Amino acid sequence: MLFMTRSCRHLPFSFRAARNIVNTRHSQPSKLRLIHDAASNSTPVEKIIRDNIKVTGPLPFATYMQLCLSHPTHGYYMNTANEVFGSKGDFITSPEISQVFGELVGVWLLSQYASLGNEKIPFRLVELGPGRGTLMDDILRVIARLQHTKQEINVHLVETSPAMRALQDAKLTCDSRPNVLLHWHNSISEIPTTSEYTMLVAHEFFDALPIHVIQKMETGWHEVLISSDTQGPTQSIGVNDAPTSQPPSQSAQTAFSPLRRGLARQPSAASTLLGHSSPRFQNLPVGSTLEVSPTAFRIARKVGELLEAGRQLDGDKLSTGGCGLIIDYGGGHASSNSFRAFKDHKIVDAFHEPGNCDLTANVDFAYLTEAMNDLVATYGPITQGSFLERMGLQLRLQGLLKAAKTDDQRERIKEAATRLVDPSRMGKEYQVLGITNKPSQESIWPFVSDVKL
């Protein structure tokens, strides 16, 4: 199976010894120094990867990510020994920082449902990659306060990790929600198309999907692969050395890790297909590098199908459609060198302790839009800061500050809100894409331009 991400000019590879501490997962590798020495920390997943390379040859980045994150027993998200989220984990997400984030997401979803003008239409919720369930918990709280519905609410959670499912179940199951029915799925394709109005959210989901890295040469698009250097830094295993941003003698890639990047000598059918998978890639110059995720494209296509109105169901019924928000870091373009690893809230060597670190790459929102724009209407992306401010963050913040009982609580509430919207922190790096089941004659709030707050 193929997987993807984005675009750029070259694929530099330099790992510098680091001292800086990174607090959130959205930080760019070009702005940070990397920490940890990858060579001295072999893991079960690293052994699996190197054994695979011995048998089949160099691996695509997609396979590396899939093994590191989703190996059934040793993968990062599958291993119960890994504390993934929160202050004790490897990164912290917006819903974990402040309840306001999830509440405003819930308000937007409900506003789109209300625009139908018929509260008798049943609705359901879908979340891709629900984490610990914090975001869905906040959304359900907003629905309980604003919707006052007694109808059954089906909540569909796309989650492959048994450990994460247990956390979500504990978070979302409570006596005050007898009408909420939880359903877990291994993939979005398992979610049935129904007559219910679908409200979908994907927060920090697409960034963890496996990517392929390809580079344009005179002979076409070549794939950047991962090989195992077991006989010294000069060994080549069916690949050419990938371009680096510094002389090979200074590269921490060859100095510290048995895994290294290399450029395939010839284009493959897969790399050629990926290089032509978007009109935006057609006229890129030789030397351009792209991170591309066909898995992201496929899932975005399925999102469009779930939210499209008028799809034929059983009998004479038609689907009602729905709305959705995709929130992640990235932008409306492809990236070339955003692939990175996180451990203990710090950015680390991408080959450091495979299976024990989170792996991530920027999301190409334009690619997601291309996958679904014949099915649904898309808006944005806009920055997370703009989305939250326009949705009323300051008003909600004032309410929380009034309810706070101590100065310490008030300071923590203000700091959390600032962290979400500050352009130098999470406010600009994270982007929000809106989706509705049909084009609006007017712009959909808050996805409008030239707004003065």
The CATH number assigned to the domain holding 260 equals 3.40.50.12710
Is residue 196 domain-resident? Answer: yes
Mean pLDDT over all residues of the chain? 83
Assign 342 to helix, strand or coil: strand
Q: What is the Cα–Cα distance from 54 to 58, expressed in whole angstroms?
A: 8
What average pLDDT does range 18-30 have in this prediction?
35
Is residue 370 domain-resident? Answer: yes
pLDDT tens digits for range 198-232: 999 999 999 999 999 999 999 999 999 999 875 33
Q: Which domain holds residue 26?
A: 4-229+242-442
Share of the chain above pLDDT 90, in %: 60
Could you tell me the pLDDT band of residue 234, with boundaries at 50, 70 and 90?
Answer: very low
* Helix then strand then coil, % of the chain, to nearest 5: 35, 20, 45
Share of the chain above pLDDT 70, in %: 80
Q: What is the pLDDT of residue 335?
A: 96
Q: What is the pLDDT of residue 82?
A: 59
DSSP secondary structure letters along 204-223: S-GGGS--EEEEEETTEEEE
Q: Is the pTM higher than 0.75?
A: yes
Q: What is the Cα–Cα distance from 202 to 432, expressed in whole angstroms?
A: 10
Is residue 447 domain-resident? Answer: no
Is residue 234 domain-resident? Answer: no
Is residue 54 domain-resident? Answer: yes
Regarding predicted confidence, which is higher, 439 or 351?
351
Regarding predicted confidence, which is higher, 341 or 11?
341
Regarding predicted confidence, which is higher, 32 or 292?
292
Is residue 145 domain-resident? Answer: yes
Is residue 452 domain-resident? Answer: no
Q: Is it the case that residue 86 has pLDDT exceeding 50? A: no
Q: What's the number of domains the chain is made of?
A: 1
| Per-residue tokens: 299 | 């899932």
Is residue 310 domain-resident? Answer: yes
What average pLDDT does range 362-378 have in this prediction?
97
Q: What is the pLDDT of residue 191?
A: 97
What average pLDDT does range 415-430 have in this prediction?
91
29-38, 213-222, 240-249, 253-262 — which is least confidently predicted?
Answer: 240-249
Q: Is it the case that residue 257 has pLDDT exceeding 90? A: no
Regarding predicted confidence, which is higher, 445 or 248?
445
Q: Is it the case that residue 39 has pLDDT exceeding 90? A: no
